[in-house]
């Protein structure tokens, strides 16, 4: 519930920022237009009556002003649209908080809970290793069964493996020497808007990730499913 409120708060901030951008952008446009009009009137009044300026010159100047004004208005509109789109993205992703997601990653955060994921094999592999490396550089290699091309599922049990809680890098090594990508499954815990304007998602077992690293949404786990999972463990 707290996350949902945060999402709406971010929406308000994003919309407000977009409105401020439009107001700030439209002000210079109006000022420039007024200044140009005054200069043009002064130029017409003070021209030499015996050698008046070519009327086409004034038309060209007016045309340039109109083009500049149109570009500035387009820039302001684009900025406002980007702000609204970002706000909608935060709201849409905020509605997914609590869902199970898949994340393409090369790092994990281990605790006592089991962690599941897949190795995206580009071809058949007779022996695939998962390689976990802790912050001290110590490696733990885990053998996976032979598997054809595609997604090979795996489960990590930190307690059974004797791995202390902490941050690890994770990689896969196939029998052909390639290093296929890894996707980790985890619960989406929160969505927030960073100071830089980027959307940041907190995923259990992984940490903070960008939206582009989310490869799939698997829906929210029901209470019955949670009870079943707890019984199995």
Q: What are the residue ranges spanned by the domains of the chain?
A: 2-94, 99-232
Residue 89: per-residue pLDDT: 66
Residue 147: per-residue pLDDT: 96
Angstrom distance (rounded) from CA 132 to CA 169: 6
Q: Look-up: residue for tokens 């951008």?
A: 21
Q: Give, in degrees to the nearest 5, the angle at Cα 202 between 197 and 205.
A: 150
Residue 61, SS3?
helix
- Write down the pTM of the prediction: 0.60
Residue 124: per-residue pLDDT: 95
Given the candidates 2.60.40.4070, 2.40.30.170, 3.30.70.580, 3.30.470.10, the CATH classification of the domain at 99-232 is 2.60.40.4070
Q: Is 179 left (phi over 0), alpha (psi -120 to 50) or beta?
A: beta
Angstrom distance (rounded) from CA 32 to CA 77: 18
Tell me the residue length of the chain.
Answer: 233
Residue 117: per-residue pLDDT: 96
Per-position pLDDT tens, the chain of length 233: 333 343 333 434 444 444 444 444 455 556 666 776 777 677 767 766 666 666 677 667 667 767 777 777 777 777 766 666 666 666 666 678 888 999 999 999 999 999 999 999 999 999 999 999 999 999 999 999 999 999 999 999 999 999 999 999 999 999 999 999 999 999 999 888 888 878 888 999 999 998 889 998 888 765 554 445 444 44
Residue 189: per-residue pLDDT: 92
- Which alpha helices (H) appear in 119-219, and where do they start and end? 158-161
Among 177, 175, 128, CA closest to 151: 128
Exposure b/e, 26-59, CB count within 10 A at least 16 = b: eeebeeeeeebeeeeeeeeeeeeeeeeeeeeeee
Residue 211: per-residue pLDDT: 87
- Which alpha helices (H) appear in the chain, and where do they start and end? 2-45, 55-94, 158-161, 223-232
Tokens of 75: 């820039």
């Amino acid at each position: 519930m707290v996350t949902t409120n945060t999402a709406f708060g971010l929406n308000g901030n994003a919309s407000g920022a977009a409105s401020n951008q439009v107001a700030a952008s439209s002000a210079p446009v109006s000022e420039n237009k007024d200044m140009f009009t005054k200069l043009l009137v002064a130029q017409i009044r003070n021209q030499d009556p015996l050698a008046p300026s070519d009327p086409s010159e004034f038309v060209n100047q007016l045309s340039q002003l109109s083009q500049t004004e149109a570009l500035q208005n387009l820039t302001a509109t684009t900025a406002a649209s980007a702000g609204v789109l970002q706000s909608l993205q935060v709201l849409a992703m905020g509605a997914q908080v609590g869902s199970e997601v898949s994340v393409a990653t090369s790092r994990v955060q281990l605790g006592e809970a089991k962690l599941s994921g897949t190795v995206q094999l580009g071809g058949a592999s007779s022996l695939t290793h998962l390689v976990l490396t802790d912050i001290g550089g110590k490696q733990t290699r885990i053998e996976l069964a032979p598997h054809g091309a595609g997604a090979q599922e795996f489960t990590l049990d930190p307690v059974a493996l004797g791995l202390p809680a902490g941050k690890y890098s994770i990689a896969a090594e196939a029998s052909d020497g390639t290093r296929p990508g890894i996707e980790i499954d985890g619960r989406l815990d929160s969505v927030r808007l960073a100071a830089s304007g980027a959307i940041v998602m907190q995923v259990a077992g992984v940490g903070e990730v960008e939206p582009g690293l989310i490869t799939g949404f698997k829906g929210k786990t029901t209470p019955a499913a949670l009870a079943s999972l707890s019984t199995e463990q």
